[in-house]
Amino acid sequence: MRKERVLGFWVLVLCGVLGWAQRQTERPYWFSLERGKVLFRKGDYGNALLAFEDARRDRRTMYTRMERDLIDLLSIHEVRLLGDSLERIEPYIAERYHVNAAAALRELYFRVPRSSLEGSATKALEALGRLKYYPEAEYWIGESYRVEGELGVALGQYQKAHEQRAFLENPRFDITILYKIIDILTIRQDYPEMEKRLLEILEQDTLWSGEVSGTTKSAMTKVLENDGISRFLTIYRYNYTTVERAHRLLGLYYYASGRHNRATEHLMFSFLIQNTIVIEEVIRNQYDFTFTTLENLLSQAMKRPVLGDYMDDAEYFKTLYYLGAALYADGKVIPARRFWIFLSGCADAGEWRGRANLQLRSPFVEQAVKMP
């Protein structure tokens, strides 16, 4: 009998899904979001914004209605007598043909792990209510305002999207949102909040923030300072690209604000990640390549346009220059000169070659920039 009831419930669920589909607009919320992305990439920002707002509204409407369907069911006297058990409520739904409630539970089970509900109708209702949030839509609404120069509104949207990060379909997308927040904070010169957000990203860098991070950083610093760049890159490799920019921005910020020791640590991590990426890409195209020196690596990297583009995006030569500058400001003259000597012989380093030459002729600590 119980198996028949369970089967009946899932038959009803299928009917509920079909019935629910008839209650929806022709274009579901996710379709509006994807349509908005297409319009955005075409430069049609006004219509893209409307599509993103449609997506947000339609998702909220859909889950609000489902939430109401489940509330209506749970408010029935007979259901209330069944207690908080989904195991007891589901057969009742099947026997009494509550199609909309069945569809609501089916959607919920598709979106969240059923085990997380612990068989509780109350938890199911709470989870269904949370599905009304649509952080992806909030993010893209922010993007639409950003390209139109409405940075304050964009920042609010990014922050809202980040607050709703638990509901992202791709949990890793929260880093992208944080970087967007950081970009606007930098433009608005809100440096304390910018620093806070960058450090938030680095909480996910276990090599940086893990239990043994202090020992690891100390060992890495000693190798770089005492044994040189080539030895450092021979011993250590780290390809966590997601946090490279956070380390670089923090390093530059700490140098500009006169905190040279902290700048050295972050720029060292940025330098390591950048070169790990370059080394891995060179090996991918030339399997027998073995790293020996930075000069040799650069000669191979410059043959590959994709690596040239990456190094430009990652501010490769700027990172090297300021890592040397931070070391020098921290009293590490010899390792600082190693970076400047490398840059002085690098024709592709542009501005940073000239600045390295100035440092080699007459080294100096750049004046700290006052932060408002």
Instruction: Give the tens place of pLDDT for each residue, 283-324.
Output: 998 988 999 999 999 999 999 999 999 999 999 999 999 999
Instruction: Give the tens place of pLDDT for each residue, 87-120.
Output: 999 999 988 889 999 999 999 999 989 999 999 9
* Residues 6 or more apart whose Cβ sits within 8 Å of residue 33: 51, 52, 55, 134, 136, 137, 140
Asked if 326 contacts 366 with a C-beta cutoff of 8 angstroms, the reply is no
The predicted pLDDT at position 230 comes to 95
CA atoms within 13 Å, Cβ hemisphere of 258: 5
Whether residue 17 has pLDDT greater than 80: no
- pLDDT, average across residues 20-31: 65
The predicted pLDDT at position 368 comes to 75
Whether residue 6 has pLDDT greater than 60: no
Distance CA 341, CA 328 (A): 13
Whole-number average pLDDT of the chain: 91
**CA-based diameter of the chain, in Å?**
90
- Reported as type and span, the H/E element at residue 370 is none
Confidence of residue 27 (pLDDT cuts 50, 70, 90): confident
pTM: 0.86
Distance CA 177, CA 138 (A): 10
Whether residue 371 has pLDDT greater than 70: no
Three-state SS for 214-256 is HHHHHHHHHHHHHHCHHHHHHHCCCCCHHHHHHHHHHHHHHHH
| 3-state SS class at 120 | strand
Instruction: Give the tens place of pLDDT for each residue, 121-145.
Output: 999 999 999 999 999 999 999 999 9
Percent of the residues in the chain that have a pLDDT greater than 90, as a whole number: 81
